[in-house]
Structure 1
């Protein structure tokens, strides 16, 4: 059953070990990360208190925030998305995984309950959660093909020397595991098929494959959650629709919401991203562009930004292909509708 998996993994490992690295995703990630840090620094200088932001009932991956104080108490459900009543789990409907940006078709309650940051995402063929805590860091991804998993960018750091895979079992299902040296621990990758038609992978820092596979077996595929972000986009360009979304939740003592993104695209293959991130309050941004009730400004050649307290909202126009034009981006931003309560995802 897994001969094809072994062959695909061998090819992937060889490619990553000796192939040329495309710098474009790395540069883009660094640029956006640097921009986010500049925004946070700007609002920390101006000062002010965070109030309520943003609203949506469709859709949700991104970079967890800084470390929370050790020993802080946290409810088990603090980082878990709201339930999706009536929605099937991945086992019952493997064909819907990654197709609906509003639903995650798996549950990891026992894994994220001890974390202080969790980033959930869904859409464009993938569903995932990445979390960090005092016990470590991990990412779980679910997709309908091994090729989709192979195409994802690695988010956990390693030495870049993947070792050959070995056969393992996860929840009674056959799979493979391999590791990449990473300091005192190893970054383990566990890949298996929880049901025919689905591929799952857990990336986790662990002492060995037993620990890694035991953690992987705690993922459940018989339930679903709503992927929600704290805002709506009421004005989409002609032919535009929601393709994916992402939300990062924090421990309650830090405020539940950190940042969230929605991806909008059309049948031609182009797409843009609208991201809201929580920042300390301050004076309104000076902007010479009109986006409905808001004032926006250019940030570089392909980013629009505006302040909807307590969030900085950005539209990244060049997501793919020819991207969207500035007027189309302003149209999308004009329909931005924030939630009234930023810290309770069940109200979004």
Structure 2
């Protein structure tokens, strides 16, 4: 297998050599954070003193709403997805990886135990988790083809000078590892086949090859987790179905739910993404569109937005979508149904 990996990686490294990291993920992350901050600022400015008092009162009375009181330490399982009873791990069913947006066919409990946040994704041919913490950042991805892994955007910063791969073993299976300088750290890439028909890759900042491969060996493929979000989409366009799931969990005084999204699409290649993020209060701008029981508005030319307490909900028709019309987006939003407890993924 090593020779196959070497040949495939040579093509990949040649393609990326000398290039900088794709800035798109970083820009998108900054845009999302900036948008949330603007919502908070806009709400406080329009709400006046009375609204600010309501916020303070709500901040004190956080327990009934399901949010963790300030200063409470999140449990060790705060970033872990719920179990998927009856679902096999990747070793037992390699063909199921990336095919069901509701299931992640691997577990990384020990690997993310010290992280402060984790983003889980499943569907459209790939499953992944990206986690961040005081000591750094890493991403693990699992797919049924090398091409799928090569098609993923690099999300961790590097110098764009990948070094030649060397042979390694991960959990007794042969693989390869290479690194890319990143300031005083090295970004290591470890790629291997945990079972025939599957390809796995861990991108991680590490002091050396042994540390990187040891981290990779802590991923397990004999269990499965549910990729869950705190809402349902009950109204899909004709032929539409769920294609992808993504959820970010964090250890925070403000609760474990950070954001989540579902991707809807059909066999013609059309798709759109619905994302929900908690915000501290209602945005005061006028909403002039109707989405079932909700009021929505346009955010630019390709995003629909509405407020369903306590979340801002967006439907991306372009960029994070392709081919769906505004009326179809409003139909999808009309079927948005939130769960009651945002911070208990077991109930999602």
Q: TM-score, normalised by structure 2?
A: 0.89
Contact 1:168 1:177 in 2 (8 A): yes
CA distance 1:188–1:120, shift in 2 (3 Å) = same
- Alpha-carbon distance in structure 2 between the residues aligned to 1:186 and 1:43: 37
Name the SS of the counterpart of 1:40 in structure 2: helix
The whole-number CA distance in structure 2 between the counterparts of 1:171 and 1:72 is 37
CA RMSD of aligned residues (A): 2.4
Q: Residue 218 of structure 1 aligns with which residue?
A: 218
Show CA shifts across 1:289-340 (max 9, x none): 1001111111111111011111110000025785200000000000000110
1:135 CA drift (Å): 2.4
Which position in structure 1 is the counterpart of 2:264? 264
Cα 1:255/1:72, change in 2 over 3 Å: closer
Once residues 96 and 330 of structure 1 are traced to their aligned partners in structure 2, the CA distance between those partners, rounded to angstroms, is 32
How far apart, in 1, do the equivalents of 2:25 and 2:161 lie?
24
Task: Give the superposition deviation at 1:18.
Answer: 5.1
Structure 2 gap segments, 5+ residues each: 45-54
Match of 2:39 in 1: 42
Secondary structure of the residue that 2:221 maps to in structure 1? coil
Mapped contact 2:273–2:320 kept (Cα < 8 A): no
Taking the aligned partners of 1:245 and 1:319, their CA distance within structure 2 comes to: 17
Mapped partners of 1:44, 1:195: distance in 2? 50
Matched, 1:199 2:205: no
Q: Distance in 2 between the 1:80 and 1:35 partners? A: 23
Contact 2:108 2:219 in 1 (8 A): yes
Alpha carbons 2:39, 2:283 under 8 Å: kept: no
Distance 1:72 1:185 in 2: 33
* C-alpha separation in 2, matches of 1:193 and 1:78: 29
Matches within 5 A, 1:22-61: 26=23, 30=27, 33-34=30-31, 36-47=33-44, 48=55, 49=58
Which residue of 2 is the match for residue 60 of structure 1? none
Q: Could you tell me how far apart the structure 2 residues matched to 1:251 and 1:148 are?
A: 31
> How much has 1:185 moved relative to structure 2?
1.1
Contact kept, 8 Å, 1:53 with 1:339, in 2: the verdict is no
Alpha-carbon distance, 1:17 to partner: 1.2
- Unpaired segments ≥5 residues, structure 1: 55-68
- 1:48-94 CA deviation, whole Å, 9 max, x = no partner? 3587999xxxxxxxxxxxxxx9x984422110000000000000000
Counterpart Cα distance in 1 of 2:142 and 2:279: 31
Task: Find the structure with the greater CA-based Rg.
Answer: 2
Name the count of aligned residue pairs: 330
Aligned partners of 1:239, 1:284: CA distance in 2, in Å?
A: 35
Q: Report SS of the residue matched to 1:281.
A: coil
Residue matched to 1:145: 145
What whole-Å deviation, never above 9, does each CA across 1:5-31 have from its counterpart, x for those lacking one? 110100100011157x8x9x8558736
SS at match of 1:174: strand
CA shift for structure 1 position 274: 0.3
Shift of the alpha carbon at 1:255? 0.5
1:111-157 superposed Cα distances (whole Å, 9 cap, x missing partner): 11211100000000000001111222110000001110000000111
Tell me the residue number matched to 1:308: 308
**Equivalent residue, structure 1, for 2:132:** 132
Moved over 4 A (4+): 25-29, 49-54, 319-322
What TM-score, normalized to structure 1? 0.89
Counterpart in the other structure of 1:114: 114
- Counterpart for residue 93 of structure 2: 93
